[in-house]
Amino acid sequence: AAVVEHTFNVGNLTISRLGHSQVITAVNGQFPGPKVEARDGDTVVVHVVNNSPYNITIHWHGILQRLSGWADGPSMVSQCPIRPGGAAYTYRFNITGQEGTLWWHAHVSFLRATVHGALLIRPGPDKPHYPFPTPHGEATLLFGEWWNASVVDVERQAMLAGGAPNNSIALTINGMTGGHELAVRHGETYLLRLINAALNYQLFFKVAGHDFTVVAADACYTDPYDTDVIVLAPGQTVDALMRADASPGLYYMVAQVYQSLANATYTATTTALLRYEHDDATAEEATAAGTSMIVMPTMPAFNDSETAQGFYGSLTGLLPDGKPTVPLHVDTRMLVTYGLGVMPCSPTQTLCNRTRGSVAASMNNVSFQLPTTMSLLEAHRRGNVDGVYTRDFPDRPPVMFNFTSAAASTNRSVMLTSKGTKVKTLRFNTTVEVVLQNTAILGAENHPLHLHGFNFYVLSQGVGNFDARVAVRSYNLVNPQQRNTVAVPAGGWAVIRFTADNPGVWVMHCHLDAHLPFGLAMAFEVDDGPTPDSVLPPPPPDYPQC
């Protein structure tokens, strides 16, 4: 195993997109930031130096962080931020039994819009091969969003007004609003590593004239799944094989917004080009084929939930050695409702419409507040959590109601929402099953829920109100997909299961960035285990203090 070492210098970068020059926060003057490439079993060491004007933390999205919770990165959950003015913190973690495509991003305010990059894990020396034929080449496509404005200002404005942030003005592919190209050779197979780093939008992705075989999602291998469209929620990744078997020429690769809200109107699209190298064609043939036309794929409608859910629901996990791995015994069962609602404007929300109120989001009617004096993990470690968090996150919503009918639920559930920093404590190595139920208070929306520190099995998903008696028949306990981010259907539910075998404090939250400051989050606290190799070590010496 090797040590993969990087220095991330976070600072201002002036770049120009769509004819507009904008100062952004970026790592090492690059947008997207540097690619981190490692193999399973390696140790990753990243020295982050903050020369930007903002507080910074970096999260390694999807990395399991076994016994290294101090390096997880969410601001005020696993650490206090790294202060501006040259403060530094070194993130150090091992890659333990993970392969595939992940990414890293800032985990404070909206800065992840520009502070992000790919994190690729190739098979390690013990098992050097992919569980599919070795591709001839690979390409990383990282999707993002672009504002002609400072993203910190965009967030501040939304919070003061208590409403949704201004939409981005464009989608990006590898940081570009157009013009990105991928060259392929006829007859070869490519591994596409797709990352949705957009702040607030799910995406459909297609390549004209080409189909895919999905082989992994969130760096968990899947059974090969053939499709001509890939769907990614913010935070999610997909590894897909694409065979370059079309006639030589130019093909559009298109990423387009998928919107689950019935009345949504945002429909951004962005393109890149797939270009065949013409090794076998004569110059005349190549010119004729390459310039005659560019082929555009037929995209789903921007609100095509059937296609989105069809994709999300079709993936199954590739069994290691053909054996099921889902834990069958469940120690803790939870039903967690979540969604957007409204609360009275707070005095600091100076631009908030007092009659309408402020958008608030909650899980089991608790709107999550980050602590201010020390991180949740530090308080957990000290054993004295007073004033930082409480251990009363409820296992169920305070009242059962018709979750997916706005009319039936509005008043009661909204009135009961309160703010708090509540965690759910889990004993080491116990298994928890969580039914995630979307509520329709401000309209049913597909929220991608991301869990830190674990991959979970997605046993089943469906629309409407969760009904255990019916749903249990649909559980896949043999080869369910594993993920770190599940796009729970709009007005529906998903059932996830995981074993709490990693001590620390792990946040679960909506990966639509706008919903995090509104409170769509909770955290699990996992006790240390009984043996020395199941105890969280002490924090590193340079661990930031608040």
Q: What is the binding site for ligand C2O (CB under 6 A)?
A: 59, 61, 74, 105, 107, 235, 450, 452, 507, 509, 511
In the bound state with ligand C2O, the residue whose beta carbon lies nearer, of 59 and 497, is 59
Return the number of the residue (40 or 513) whose C-beta is nearest ligand C2O.
513
Q: Is 458 exposed, middle or buried (0-12, 13-18, 19+ CB in 10 A)?
A: buried
Q: Which residue, 235 or 249, has its beta carbon nearer to ligand C2O?
A: 235
In angstroms, what is the minimal distance from the CB of 201 to ligand C2O?
15
Output the smallest distance, CB 311 to ligand C2O, in A. Answer: 20
From the CB of residue 173, how many other CB atoms can be counted at a distance below 10 Å?
21
What's the CA gap between 361 and 338, in Å, rounded? 7
- The residue among 422 and 450 lying less far from ligand C2O, judged by its C-beta, is 450
141 versus 229: smaller Cβ distance to ligand C2O: 141
Q: Give the nearest distance from C-beta 121 to ligand C2O in angstroms.
A: 16
CB 126 to ligand C2O: min, Å: 28
- Find the shortest distance in angstroms from Cβ 452 to ligand C2O: 6
- Transcribe 60-91 into DSSP letters: EET---TT-GGGS--BTTTBPPBPTTTEEEEE
Contacts of 196 (CB under 8 A, 6+ apart): 143, 202, 203, 232, 233, 234, 235, 236, 237
Residue 400 sits at φ, ψ, to 5 deg, of -90, 135
Q: Are strands 482-483 and 504-510 parallel, antiparallel or unpaired?
A: unpaired
d(CA 522, CA 506): 9
Q: What are phi and psi of 82, to 5 degrees?
A: -80, 120
Minimal distance, residue 445 CB to ligand C2O, in Å: 18
Strand positions, DSSP E, 427-472: 431-438, 447-451, 456-463
Q: Specify the residue, 105 or 210, whose C-beta has the smaller distance to ligand C2O.
A: 105
Closest distance to ligand C2O from the beta carbon of 112 (Å): 7
Q: Residue 383: left if φ>0, alpha if ψ -120 to 50, beta else—which one?
A: left
All residues at 6 or more sequence positions from 251 whose CB lies less than 8 Å from its CB, including other chains? 207, 208, 209, 210, 273, 274, 294, 295, 297
Residue 354: burial class (beta carbons within 10 Å; 0-12, 13-18, 19+): exposed
**Rounded to whole angstroms, what are the CA distances from 109 to 147, 253, 445?**
15, 31, 22
Minimal distance in Å, beta carbon 172 to ligand C2O?
Answer: 17
Identify which of residues 196 and 362 has a Cβ nearer to ligand C2O in the complex. 196
C-beta of 453 vs 529, nearer to ligand C2O: 453
Q: Which residue is nearest to ligand C2O (CB)?
A: 61
In the complex, minimum distance from the CB of residue 78 to ligand C2O, in angstroms, rounded to a whole number: 10
Whose Cβ is closer to ligand C2O: residue 385's or residue 512's?
512
Q: What does the DSSP 8-state code read for residue 139? A: E
